[in-house]
Structure 1
Amino acid sequence: MSNKTSLRVADLPQNAPTPFELRPDTQGLDAIRADLGLLGLRKVSFVGDVRAQGKRDWILNGKLGATVIQPCVVTLEPVTTRIDVPVSRVYIADWSDPDEPEFEIPEGDETEPLGAEIDPASVMIEALSLALPQYPRKDGAAMEQADFTEPGKQAMTDEDAKPFAGLADLRDALKKDE
């Protein structure tokens, strides 16, 4: 899929945007669905353009749309979600990796090193995976309280995990005695 959609940077016009429009076929959708572990995937489109930014850098802007089906985190029943998100990537020619071992990339940072090609299909799949709901939940699905312990022992409840919950009552009782 990526070979057909890659844009060679050397071939991109400096003075005009290069549009792209991706609508994966059934085979492409099946590959993306399997790669992302989805139950279903349909109506995927990624439309936008790549244009020069300055003399050597490039920017990709697009709009990603997709309908995804994931298992509910509570019931495992299918949950359908519509995703419509703007996507932007800035490709920097003079990219340098930070030297600090503990360097953190700022959240939402959309910059990447510029290579020989820009691949809108790869950007589409990455953006889709980032836009997926992390904990899809069917309407009305709620976790029941589950108590687990060894056989023959009393299970610890949520109330047991709050050791200071009764202190307010104790304080009030002590004030009455004064």
Structure 2
Amino acid sequence: MIAKTFPVKRPFDVTRLGNQVKEVTFEPDANERARMIETYGLLDLKDMTCVLRLRPWRKDGVAVDGHLRARAIQPCVVTLAPVEQEMDETFSRRFDPHAARQEETAEIDVEAFSEDPPDPLAGRDLDLGAVVCEQFALALELYPRAAEAEVPEAYRPAEEDGGDGAGSAARPSPFAVLAEFKKNSE
């Protein structure tokens, strides 16, 4: 994994996995929950559970399949009122120690509809806290908005074209201006 700072650390020694499948339940304690609230700009984190299923993948890699459930409360981007979001996400990640070496020297070709390349696994420990925090951050609503929230009139876009998209007499379309310019230059 790329070295980043995450609010929760849960190192897992992948050499303990062997050829078995291991199930790990992740529930942040009060301190970890407080760090997640601060890191992700939440008002509260009511519930959070992530069940991770780890299994061997390829020769030296690890596959992690997870099911994340959480109730996060964020501030509305318009009114700052609390907005609750329920998460129920499944995800799959692959970690490969050889990907860490390739990442330093090679370019990765990514196709639009192909699977993501495996994440690098450096050393014996896989930080399950980082895996869960990344998935949690990806599942968070980017612009949470309360149902009753309306953008104040001063911040709304001007309705110059009357809503029909054709433009108004006060401001002609750029193509009309170009056509007039071409006609006058001939």
Q: Could you tell me whether the CA contact under 8 Å between 1:91 and 1:114 is conserved in 2?
A: yes
Q: Does 1:166 align with 2:173?
A: no
- What is the Cα deviation at residue 28 of structure 1? 1.3
Q: Does 1:112 align with 2:119?
A: yes
- What is the Cα deviation at residue 114 of structure 1? 1.6
5+ residue gaps, structure 1, are: 149-155, 171-178
The equivalences for 1:125-140 within 5 A come to 125-140=133-148
In structure 2, the partner of 1:91 is 95
> What is the CA deviation profile of residues 79-121 of structure 1, one whole-angstrom value per residue up to 9, with x for unaligned ones?
0111110122100232112745x97796873620122211211
Q: Distance in 1 between matches of 2:62 and 2:37?
A: 29
In structure 2, the partner of 1:151 is none
Q: Could you tell me whether the CA contact under 8 Å between 1:40 and 1:70 is conserved in 2?
A: yes
Q: Does 1:42 align with 2:49?
A: no
Q: Could you tell me whether the CA contact under 8 Å between 2:26 and 2:52 is conserved in 1?
A: no
Q: Could you tell me whether the CA contact under 8 Å between 2:44 and 2:74 is conserved in 1?
A: yes
User: How many equivalent residue pairs?
Assistant: 157
The share of aligned pairs that are identical, in percent, is 28
User: Judging changes above 3 Å, is the alpha-carbon distance between structure 1 residues 161 and 17 closer, same or farther for their aligned structure 2 residues?
Assistant: same
Q: Structure 1 length normalisation: TM-score? A: 0.75
Secondary structure at the aligned position of 2:129 is classed as: helix
5+ residue gaps, structure 2, are: 1-7, 173-186
> What is the CA deviation profile of residues 31-70 of structure 1, one whole-angstrom value per residue up to 9, with x for unaligned ones?
1111111111121111121100122121001111111111
User: Judging changes above 3 Å, is the alpha-carbon distance between structure 1 residues 128 and 12 closer, same or farther for their aligned structure 2 residues?
Assistant: same
Secondary structure at the aligned position of 2:98 is classed as: coil
Hey, which bits of structure 1, 4+ residues long, moved more than 4 A? 102-108, 160-164
